Structure 1
Amino acid sequence: MRSTMMPSLRGALLVLLGTTAHLASAWPTVSPHVTVVRRAEDVSEEYDYVIVGGGTSGLTVADRITEDGKYTVLVIENGQFWDETGFDLPRVYNILSEPSPALNNRSFFVGIGNGVGGSSLVFGQVYLRGTEDEYAGWAQLSGKKHSTWNWKGLLPYFKKALTLNPPTPEQVEAGNIKFDQSYWGEDTGLYATFGGGPVTKWQQSHYSAMSKVDGMETPEDSASGKAGLYWYPLAQDSNYVRSYARTGHWDGISRDNYQMIVGSKVSTVQFDEDLTATGVVFTTGNSTEARTVKAKREVILAAGAIHTPQVLMLSGIGPKAHLEAVGIDVKVDAPGVGSNFQDHSYIPSLEYSFANPPSDVTPIPGPGYGPDGAPNLAAMMGLPVITPKKYKDIAKRYSQQNPADFLPAEYTPELIEGYRHQQKFYTSLMKSKNVVFNEVMLTGPSAGVQNLHPVSRGTVRLNPADPHAEPIVDYRAGSNPIDLEVMVETVKFLRRYYTEGELAQYGVTETLPGPDVVTDADVDAWCREQITPSVFHPVGTTAKMPRKWGGVVDEDLFVYGTKNLRIIDAGIQPTLIGATTCQTVYAVAEKIAEVILDQAVNPPKCKVKRDGPSQ
């Protein structure tokens, strides 16, 4: 089953200049700092930069490159401004995935934000970073000796993106909370804040029990690039209100050179005969008439890992066979567009009852919110901690696989070669303690099961019946059996943690999956029915890798085979990190914004279409 329903493009065309007013409906409230234009023809004919997508990365980059007033920017956003935030229709797109045969042919909701702020508008506010080892793979997969897309190269931009509001002294003492302000910024417009309430007795019991697990580290900060047991903040300001791309990079800004149009969908990028991007074509929610806006310097795609591939393919940039099959003229044969699709997978809960619980107050599952919510505790673990007896064997068997046996049938030799390099990198991740395969939020009597480094790969493709409708999303979850094995081993680890370690003193009994699920085969069957292959963290569909490995963008995030076309969203991430993705999207946006500004003054020396890494 497949959903082809387009998201509702309600309300008329809005072009907003400067700061925004909150929208209680499809129309904005007019304020002294907002210009409301209801006609597409009132959009300027040309801007220096046209950014497709007003989400996490799009707003960050737009803010940075308009700060000095030298360059004009138009942001085109499909969604609207919303007073309310959080994961709820219609603030998310209505997309249902293709069935996943390995997960009993189940289909899944594809959750991505649809509004100003993008997925930062709707996500769960858990603020985490990947580890140093995980980001090292981005540099390794660049094919360059001195790539700066690694932990060292990204850390200054993590700090530039976010300010930390520290825990209280009482919280630090009660929970042994470690934090280090040197990993965070001090004067940014986006904030990370610990819950305002006290550390619970449940959390204290979990901290004590998990700290005694063999191989468990306790890093100096959740943002230090290290795996282990730590407390982490939420994407909230000091008043415990959601802090997201809109509040940090749009609200309160008044610039004549910065405009946004909402309720508008970009269909294609326009090119000249030299394949230089010259602008985009878009339509608005109150009109079917297409409008073109030109970009003097660059077109920047920030529509996310699901919709950026769609825009590229509609523009003639994508897998040749697929484009020809749906009747689109091929401008650039780019097999990596819409390939290499990844997301975190999880099982919502293993559940336990406690005969003698640590407290007579059962905490609400999930992260704490608001002034009364407890700070948040998580154990971030690699396979050597999860399955110390089997991780080497899993890594060895994975390294010996023939990638073509488990990848989509339409993968080209370039894509298979690119995956071979990922396979080599992932083999090293499987043997590293400083990698996160499972994140356990330690709240109370239950725990989720995750695989944050799935080795299966899915696809995003155009719908042949209507290429402009929502794309076809296929997770292909569990298509590589290693992913199921990792899930089984993680379930077994959590069973040991709850029933054999320090928590056993509380008289713990498992209620889900329960005593009837005993053998590895039993657990495997249970997992196939329980796994959801998305925590709404899609990446990889326009990967930053060499073109000969199926990459789509180079080190400066320019699209191969074109000029003046860049991608800045999560699709450029070649592999997943073992953490929520929002912080990393901010850091990438901050880093590339500096590159864009530098290249505006000192253009790259490459004068021909980019066929490989920037010259």
Structure 2
Amino acid sequence: MASSEPVELTDYVIVGAGTAGCVLANRLSADGTSQVQLVEAGGRDRHPMIHIPAGFMRLLDHPEITWSYKTAPGAETGGRQILFPRGRGLGGSSSINGLLYVRPLPSDIDGWEAQGAQGWSYENCLPYYIKCETWQDGADPRRGHDGPIKVTRVLAPPPVCAQVVKAGQELGLEFLDDPNATTRGPSIWYYQQTRQGRVRSSAARGYLWPVAGRPNLAVRTGLQVLRVLIEGEGPARRAVGIECRHADGRVTVIKARKEVILSAGVIGTPRLLELSGVGDPDVLDNAGIATQVALRGVGKNLQDHYVTRLCFRIKGIATANERAHGAALAGEVAKYVLSGSGILTYSAAVVGVFASTGLADRPDIQCVIAPGSFKEGRIGELEDLPGLSLGVWQMRPESRGSVHMTSKDPGSAPVIDPAYLSHAVDRATVVEGLRIGRRLAEQPSLAPYVVNETLPGAQAVADEALLKYARDNGSTVYHGVGTCRMGPDASEGCVVDSELRVHGIQGLRIVDGSIMPTVTSTNTNATVLMIAERAADMLLNKAPQRTAQAHAA
């Protein structure tokens, strides 16, 4: 550290103002006694498309609001580079995601504890799922009623959605009125959204905006963290602060009296650790970075849900496609402005499914069903003619990838290799999942409205053809986790302990989705909120919250 660099002092410095960072900034500054600095490389969440629910389709590759990451070409994904959106700016990925709010299966979290994450059972975590939310549809002790994140039902979905639900029941799926408040076997249900009226309920809106005026909280945007500052040797080794660069090139050091907390996400957190000399010595040496702390699990264990979409041409019933163009779209804009309703309030999907392929002992396929179809089968521009899309992903993939730096330049991007479909079970599951999607479309309540399957189409019959389609057309569903996984022993690839403290370094914690030992079966944002709420209690030495209702969910 150059002596000319200005030094600031605070109690906690939080790196990353995404989902977890916003939660921590709120909770750690609440009693007014601790100084908290929240440091974010991106800007304020001012872009209008952040706040219009359907606007997420225009943000996934936005050069200022995302990091514009792409995966390395994958051997099992047609050698393609796949867009890997990560939010940049206040709210992070909660400001650009598809607004879908789904708690995990209880067995997902119990599995963390079974792998050595002491205390991380579903029963212990449920109070924090409850704490983070306000469920806007009736009183239920299994749901939260005064949390910062507003959760609601989709408003007036197109009629085709009701036929999809009926078709699911004909397929033998149980209809769930509230999939976040009940035990979930093979079932069909309507997705819930992180939405407050006409606008997105992001972590920034829910947690950060209401407390931004606290005198002990400083929210710093446009500040790129270059490295974590680590002092001492052996057991006395400690993270003492961070080195940051302003947009104009000035460098500032922020020192933390209490702790440095990394909440930069599944990509940003391992990236920063490696730039700071913390990681696998072989990886660091390859990047020209001197090893300060050998921690071989950093950047490994990357997991993500890989989604592949079936698309159908629809007739005789309304879908979103015909309302998304020309004069009809102008009418939808007017409807949104005047009443806060219409297709601009929709999220990435409206109907969800948990299904069993028979390859696992519990549901292993989740479906995202949208009342519209996207060009080339990927989220983006809706087709002109009426359509329906049905995406499938394996809920608990076996494939494991990595995120690693190959340069010591803080301005360079890491190599992101999710290793999608590299495990045989994953390949078999996606093929069976596509077949389940096809069977849903063949049920009596939906079949009369289906003209034909446009993607992959009738020519994809054999397993090999369906697998090739999945390899050539699948993509991330934005659920990357696991690159700094939680567990008791650094020698076994764990990066943080059950208190989320980085092994071998005092004063440094990680609080974000990178600490998940295994990906949850479902959408991940609700679980990142839970992790951050629980971590805040740990940091403040509060007794863990408990609820007598834990067994019910």
Scaled to the shorter chain, the TM-score interval is 0.7 to 0.9
Alignment of 1:350 onto 2:310 = yes
Query: Does the 8 A contact of 1:438 with 1:451 survive in 2?
Result: yes
What residue number does 1:416 align with?
Answer: none
Separation in structure 2 between the aligned mates of residue 222 and residue 235 of structure 1, nearest angstrom? 15
What residue number does 1:415 align with?
Answer: none
Distance 1:50-1:219 versus aligned 2 partners, 3 A rule: same
What residue number does 1:201 align with?
Answer: 159
Across the two proteins, how many residue pairs are aligned to each other? 491
Query: Does the 8 A contact of 1:193 with 1:240 survive in 2?
Result: no
What residue number does 2:129 align with?
Answer: 158
What amino acid is the match of 2:166? S
Alignment of 1:185 onto 2:159 = no
1:266 to 195, 219, 225: 225
What amino acid is the match of 1:187? D
Distance 1:525-1:267 versus aligned 2 partners, 3 A rule: same
Q: CA deviation at 1:471?
A: 1.2
Alignment of 1:539 onto 2:484 = no
What residue number does 1:277 align with?
Answer: 239
Query: Does the 8 A contact of 1:190 with 1:243 survive in 2?
Result: yes
Separation in structure 2 between the aligned mates of residue 552 and residue 503 of structure 1, nearest angstrom? 48
Q: CA deviation at 1:276?
A: 1.1
Separation in structure 1 between the aligned mates of residue 441 and residue 23 of structure 2, nearest angstrom? 42
What residue number does 1:431 align with?
Answer: 361
Separation in structure 2 between the aligned mates of residue 137 and residue 150 of structure 1, nearest angstrom? 8
Q: Which has the higher strand share?
A: 2
Alignment of 1:304 onto 2:265 = yes
In the alignment, structure 2 segments of 5+ residues that lack a partner are 51-55, 325-331, 373-387, 544-553
Q: CA deviation at 1:318?
A: 0.4
* 1:121-180 Cα shifts (integer Å, max 9, x gaps): 11111111111122221111126xxx33122111111111110122xxxxxxxxxxxx76
Query: Does the 8 A contact of 2:154 with 2:191 survive in 1?
Result: no
Q: CA deviation at 1:328?
A: 2.0
Q: CA deviation at 1:581?
A: 1.4
Separation in structure 2 between the aligned mates of residue 323 and residue 136 of structure 1, nearest angstrom? 34
What amino acid is the match of 1:294? K
Q: CA deviation at 1:117?
A: 1.1
Distance 1:94-1:161 versus aligned 2 partners, 3 A rule: same
- Deviation larger for 476-485 or 367-376: 367-376
1:286 to 229, 233, 248: 248
What residue number does 1:142 align with?
Answer: 116
- Deviation larger for 478-487 or 580-589: 478-487
What residue number does 2:89 align with?
Answer: 115
Q: CA deviation at 1:598?
A: 0.7
What residue number does 1:586 align with?
Answer: 529
Q: CA deviation at 1:308?
A: 0.6
Separation in structure 2 between the aligned mates of residue 76 and residue 446 of structure 1, nearest angstrom? 39
Q: CA deviation at 1:186?
A: 1.7
* 1:350-394 Cα shifts (integer Å, max 9, x gaps): 122356x4x2x2334999984235887433324xx3x24xx2xxx
Distance 1:464-1:272 versus aligned 2 partners, 3 A rule: closer
Distance 1:112-1:201 versus aligned 2 partners, 3 A rule: same
Q: CA deviation at 1:549?
A: 2.5
Distance 1:365-1:139 versus aligned 2 partners, 3 A rule: farther
Supply the RMSD in Å over aligned alpha carbons: 2.5
Separation in structure 1 between the aligned mates of residue 206 and residue 254 of structure 2, nearest angstrom? 27
Query: Does the 8 A contact of 1:219 with 1:226 survive in 2?
Result: no
Alignment of 1:47 onto 2:18 = no
Separation in structure 1 between the aligned mates of residue 66 and residue 370 of structure 2, nearest angstrom? 28
What residue number does 1:378 align with?
Answer: 351
Distance 1:501-1:457 versus aligned 2 partners, 3 A rule: farther
Alignment of 1:357-396 (within 5 A): 357=316, 359=317, 361-364=318-321, 370-373=340-343, 377-382=350-355, 385=356, 387-388=357-358, 391=359
Alignment of 1:7-26 (within 5 A): none
Q: CA deviation at 1:465?
A: 7.0
Separation in structure 2 between the aligned mates of residue 559 and residue 225 of structure 1, nearest angstrom? 35
Separation in structure 2 between the aligned mates of residue 440 and residue 310 of structure 1, nearest angstrom? 31
Query: Does the 8 A contact of 1:103 with 1:529 survive in 2?
Result: yes
